[in-house]
Structure 1
Amino acid sequence: MLPDRPLPGVLDLPSERKARGAFFTPVSVTRHLAEWALVDASDRVLEPSAGEAAFLAAAVDRLKELGADKPLVDGVEIHGPSAESARLIVGEAGGEAAIRVSDFFLVEAQARFDAVIGNPPFIRYQDWTGDQRDRARFAALDQGVALTGLASSWAAFVVHAAGFLKPGGRLGLVLPAELLSVNYAAPVRRFLLERFAHVELVVFDEQIFSDAEADTVLVKASGWGLRGTGAATLRQTRNAESLSSLDVGTSWLPLDTGDRWPALQLSDTTLRAVGNARGDGSFTPLSTWGETSLGAVTGGNRFFALSPERVRELAIPRRDLLRVSPPGSTHLRSLALTRDAISRLGRNGESTWLLYPSSNPAKATMEYIAQGHATGVDQAYKCRVRSPWWRVPVLAAPDLFLTYMNAATVQLATNEVEARHLNSVHGVYLKPEVRDLGRELLSVAALNSFTTLSAESVGRSYGGGILKMEPREADGWMVPSPEAISTRRDDLLAIRPTVRRLLQQKKLNQAVRLVDSVLLSAMTSSELESVRNDQAKLADRRVARGRSGRKLRRQP
């Protein structure tokens, strides 16, 4: 059996593996990709981030099944002790390993291999800096792919790895599911669809890694260098153990090869309804309405975000404060943040004020700032890098709040109190020509089945089954167009009180169906049912992956 942990005696701490973006891959996954990628005993195979040879050992087993005597397999590994372990493991499996200890991006791409398989390191752009990142981007450019500075490490690995394939070769990789949807991965999606003859994706209902928050997808691309069809096939399975019984799959031909791929998971009826809604102008990206922005990062919410009681206790005057939406978004699961609502939040001890000293701070304010200095608040990173440390950079009050982390779905709430927003929510700044209409009705209109489906498609699943929506993703979130809302304005105003009451009663589905009756009346009953079913399927799958991830993390 292949090892799923470091060999005894080899020091490779979990923190060190995480810093390298290394995660141990389940045996069923390595076996599946090896069996798919290797079709002849003479096939040459490379694992570009070999770790401790999980894929290379599976490749040895596969090549021996195909008739090879003592298969020679190749790998690259940046961590010396892991490379040594890999050689031993491959030897024990009956093969011979040529493992080069190096940064993969320092290895010149040569078309020597029939297959490249592996699990590239996953390091987010914030933590992936310096020379290695620069080398990675140049390596991708060698293949004609320009990656943005927001790209995580795996993106360049995919592109560079393909350069080691012979014409017609096969690429089998374990990748983060953000490949399907994030903007920075568009060049990678285009690269795969245009440079390989066939692209197949395998997605999981449950998480397959206990030590990684990200969801996972298997990419199986074959026919390197041959003309691509521009289409991809999606196959779904429950977990790593059910890979032997994959479904037939569905195919999708995007209008543009860089388009997001979640549409692969939708039925033909839903795709037709989506196309009609976009084509007739009744739905449009949120960016049509305005701009979505991150909230303020204080560097210490406990110090900067204050409850009314705390403000009275400190005697900080109004001139040194700004109204703020309290941290979190539970209080925004309605249609608006109203004066009554924020007063109630304050009475309940929520932090509805933000310390924001004026040009002439009061004595009480300066005394509080001195307390912060004495207790080390000024040493927090965000405080340390700004001057003065106690002035939080804030934007103007947004027109609407957009919820960032969501158990059910993404929601909008009109900002009726001119409150600023912290980084637990996003702010939406509407264009002048649609500002009044958007503030009045966009939060209501966005509660429809088509828009909740779009949220599942453009957002991403986070740890615990949470639906996460970043500002750049929100730009592509499909919401009712200004024209559609204007046409149905009277009807939307009529149902708004009922929608608000249903949300207060936590009856989200009933609220959505009520809005559907106004905005989606042009859909056929079969189309509307299909949209709702697909939205529920995606949401259920997200939640199920969250549960499975927690279960995996509890296992010893």
Structure 2
Amino acid sequence: MDSETFSAAPSGAKAKRLGAYYTPEPVVEFMIRWAIQDAHYKIIDPSFGNGQFLRASARQTKVKLLNPSEQIYGIELDSDTFNANKPLLESQFKIHKLENQDFFAADSFFLSEFNKVSPLEEFEAVVGNPPFIRYQRFKGKARELALKRAAEHGISLPGHASSWAPFLIHAISLIKNGGRIAMIIPVELSYATYAKDILAYLLDQFKNLSLLSFQKRLFPKLAEDTYILLGENRGLPCSKFQLVDVQNEERLSHFDGQLDSVGEVKTLNREACSNLKSHKVKLLEFSLNRACRNLYQSFRERAQTADFSVTFLGEVMDIGIGYVSGDNAFFHPDQATIEAFGIEQEFLTPCLRRSNNLRGLYYSKEDWENSLEPQKWLLHIDQTLDIHALPKGLRKYLNWGLKSGILKRYKVKKRSPWYALSNIKIGDAFLTYMSHDAPRLVQNVSGLPAPNTLHVASLKKSGQDALDCKLLLIAWYTSLCFLSSEIEGHSLGAGMLKLEPNEARNIIVVIPRHLSQEEIEDTYSRIDVALRKNNLELALNLGDESILCHGLGLSQETCLTLREAYYKLRDRRKYR
């Protein structure tokens, strides 16, 4: 039976709500071929959607199940999806052990089938593509139950964890000792703070682990990139961890039982597994060759000691998000709106709205004046001012906002008074939050604030002066710093690099203290010119020469190694 006979994936708002993005068929077939190793296996998909993993299990020919109707199980939360697919799964594939239920609340189903509940440990294989629901929509009793389930298995997850995390942990509890898991998971596993404990849990649960990453995205419409997780021989700590770089989903059809038949395999030894488990290294570092990985690790070790020439950005700068308006259009009126309502100038503050206005190594009032940004004024009202005491033009604008439903905005509604923004900080520099080629650190000589589309960075108060700030600015534009940004940040849809404040704090920077003021000023000026000409390559060459070669004594060859590693990670992120 062709898959088109079955219900298609939910689309639009419903797909987003359910986190339902169904898996390409070559991926499904590969995962089932890998997972089912014996005709007696019991297999379950705890979120079966349109049943593609269940169907693939039933029609598997490499290892044909003896009695699919007694060996294949499926759970599906969404009633519409369940009811649309259940009849054909039963009639065409003889799959009857199906339950319309929240996976986390399916104890009654398991009790009726196995006379026991969690930890079940009754299946030889668990497969599937769990829902990817962000914490903003993963809430209420559903989240409480999911987090409770994870806690039952020894993993305490924070409230902001996405749905896949407790789903994966609970799914593992279904597997017998010696059993397998084949599951799609987001690359959040490699960077989210809470995911560190999940990775450590996986390393404790499976003797052999493999993560398959793809040069071409499996789910182009999904903002999050994904891995295929393969775990085998549950019940023993990990002794072999493989990272498999796969060109595209079509390569999976070449699977011959060995993972090197579908992609390039890197095998991590016990020490590497231990370092991952203890959070000493990040998964992405293993995309680099051994020499470069060791080089990067040596810089991290220097940054962790009292070597003041190599440090983490968070040691020398405070980094936080810009102000939160709750409604950028309303709180950043354009000139036409200002004139139409007669908003008084004393309540308007110039601001930097967008990162694409950052051209050089510094941002000045002149840059602001020459900007073509139409909404570059911030409505700035003191918190102590009552709305009735405000002048006519501003009051008219605020009343218009009330009539237009401004208080429907959550961030606006919870603020008191709603029209007065807080946390408006003036930093020493701006740091881009989302970046295409590389994150930009730009000196704020304008004295302007910025919204939460940018990070605000300020030198820590330890004697730094304007010259120190310029030194730090040129130190940012090095191959090491850009490589560190790729490792510490994470990739989103459209190939963008996202840097959360805690990720930015971990970026390694080199700050040599013996450079002359003349060299600092000269390099600063030349990098600024290069950036304003959109020549990032030249800016990096200048930074490497001054900071890494002259300042730290690295060879040109070492700089080239770092540069090539940065390019590798950047290009993999951008061109997927």
**Normalised TM-score (structure 2):** 0.87
Is the 1:251–1:264 Cα contact (8 Å) retained in structure 2?
no
Cα distance change, pair 463–12 in 1 and its aligned pair in 2 (3 A): closer
| 1:536 aligned onto 2:567 | yes
Alignment match, 2:210: 200
Which one of 345, 349, 367 corresponds to residue 341 of structure 1?
367
Alignment match, 1:32: 30
How far apart are 1:398 and its partner, in Å?
Answer: 1.8
Alignment match, 1:7: 7
Is the 1:5–1:24 Cα contact (8 Å) retained in structure 2?
no
Write out aligned runs for 1:215-364 (5 A): 215-229=225-239, 232-243=241-252, 244=254, 245-252=261-268, 253=272, 255-257=275-277, 259=279, 260-281=282-303, 282-306=309-333, 311=338, 316-325=343-352, 327-345=353-371, 348=372, 350-358=374-382, 359=385, 361-364=390-393
Cα distance change, pair 396–168 in 1 and its aligned pair in 2 (3 A): same
Cα distance change, pair 443–362 in 1 and its aligned pair in 2 (3 A): farther
SS in 2 for 1:278: helix
Greater alpha carbon shift after TM alignment, 459-468 vs 407-416:
459-468
Amino acid at match of 2:430: F
Cα deviations by residue, 1:264-304 (Å, 9 ceiling, x for unpaired): 21111211210222233344332212332122222332222
Which one of 446, 464, 472 corresponds to residue 442 of structure 1?
472
Cα distance change, pair 116–372 in 1 and its aligned pair in 2 (3 A): same
How far apart are 1:5 and its partner, in Å?
Answer: 8.2
How far apart are 1:494 and its partner, in Å?
Answer: 2.4
Alignment match, 2:166: 156
How far apart are 1:61 and its partner, in Å?
Answer: 2.3
| 1:70 aligned onto 2:67 | yes
| 1:174 aligned onto 2:184 | yes
- Whole-Å Cα distance in 2 between the matches of residues 387 and 5 of structure 1? 55
How far apart are 1:163 and its partner, in Å?
Answer: 0.6
Cα distance change, pair 196–489 in 1 and its aligned pair in 2 (3 A): farther
Cα distance change, pair 510–190 in 1 and its aligned pair in 2 (3 A): same
How far apart are 1:261 and its partner, in Å?
Answer: 1.1
Cα deviations by residue, 1:215-257 (Å, 9 ceiling, x for unpaired): 111111112110223x632111122112234224113415241
How far apart are 1:377 and its partner, in Å?
Answer: 3.5
Cα deviations by residue, 1:382-414 (Å, 9 ceiling, x for unpaired): 323323222122332122111011111111111
Alignment match, 2:411: 382
How far apart are 1:525 and its partner, in Å?
Answer: 4.2
**Normalised TM-score (structure 1):** 0.90
Query: Percent identical across equivalent pairs?
Result: 28
How far apart are 1:43 and its partner, in Å?
Answer: 1.1
Cα deviations by residue, 1:102-153 (Å, 9 ceiling, x for unpaired): 1111233300011111101000011110111111111111111111122100
Is the 2:322–2:425 Cα contact (8 Å) retained in structure 1?
no
Alignment match, 2:541: 513
- Whole-Å Cα distance in 2 between the matches of residues 523 and 2 of structure 1? 60
- Whole-Å Cα distance in 2 between the matches of residues 202 and 285 of structure 1? 30
Alignment match, 2:488: 458
Greater alpha carbon shift after TM alignment, 188-197 vs 82-91:
82-91
Amino acid at match of 1:509: E
Which one of 423, 426, 443 corresponds to residue 452 of structure 2?
423
SS in 1 for 2:462: helix
Is the 1:189–1:258 Cα contact (8 Å) retained in structure 2?
no
Is the 1:60–1:90 Cα contact (8 Å) retained in structure 2?
no
Stretches of structure 1 lacking an aligned partner (at least 5 in a row): 546-556
Cα distance change, pair 242–256 in 1 and its aligned pair in 2 (3 A): closer
Amino acid at match of 1:508: L
SS in 1 for 2:277: coil
Cα distance change, pair 311–486 in 1 and its aligned pair in 2 (3 A): farther
| 1:184 aligned onto 2:194 | yes
Is the 2:15–2:21 Cα contact (8 Å) retained in structure 1?
yes
Which one of 415, 419, 440 corresponds to residue 411 of structure 1?
440
Amino acid at match of 2:67: K
| 1:51 aligned onto 2:49 | yes
Amino acid at match of 2:376: T
- Whole-Å Cα distance in 2 between the matches of residues 411 and 292 of structure 1? 14
Write out aligned runs for 1:100-115 (5 A): 100-107=99-106, 108-115=118-125
Amino acid at match of 2:563: R
Amino acid at match of 2:448: A
Cα deviations by residue, 1:415-464 (Å, 9 ceiling, x for unpaired): 12221111211112332116536533322211111111122222222222
Write out aligned runs for 1:363-402 (5 A): 363-402=392-431
- Whole-Å Cα distance in 1 between the matches of residues 318 and 507 of structure 2? 12
Cα distance change, pair 472–101 in 1 and its aligned pair in 2 (3 A): same
SS in 1 for 2:132: coil
Which one of 134, 139, 144 corresponds to residue 154 of structure 2?
144
Amino acid at match of 1:96: I
Cα distance change, pair 220–523 in 1 and its aligned pair in 2 (3 A): farther
- Whole-Å Cα distance in 2 between the matches of residues 31 and 97 of structure 1? 21
Greater alpha carbon shift after TM alignment, 421-430 vs 373-382:
373-382
- Whole-Å Cα distance in 2 between the matches of residues 5 and 128 of structure 1? 31
Cα distance change, pair 183–374 in 1 and its aligned pair in 2 (3 A): same
Cα distance change, pair 428–232 in 1 and its aligned pair in 2 (3 A): farther
SS in 2 for 1:65: coil
Alignment match, 1:550: none
Alignment match, 1:552: none
Greater alpha carbon shift after TM alignment, 196-205 vs 238-247:
238-247
How far apart are 1:97 and its partner, in Å?
Answer: 3.6
- Whole-Å Cα distance in 1 between the matches of residues 403 and 509 of structure 2? 48
Cα deviations by residue, 1:69-108 (Å, 9 ceiling, x for unpaired): 4322011111234334444444466443411221111233
**C-alpha root-mean-square deviation of aligned residues, in Å?**
2.4
Is the 2:251–2:263 Cα contact (8 Å) retained in structure 1?
no
Greater alpha carbon shift after TM alignment, 334-343 vs 36-45:
334-343
Is the 1:213–1:463 Cα contact (8 Å) retained in structure 2?
yes
- Whole-Å Cα distance in 1 between the matches of residues 513 and 174 of structure 2? 55
Greater alpha carbon shift after TM alignment, 453-462 vs 242-251:
242-251
| 1:16 aligned onto 2:14 | yes
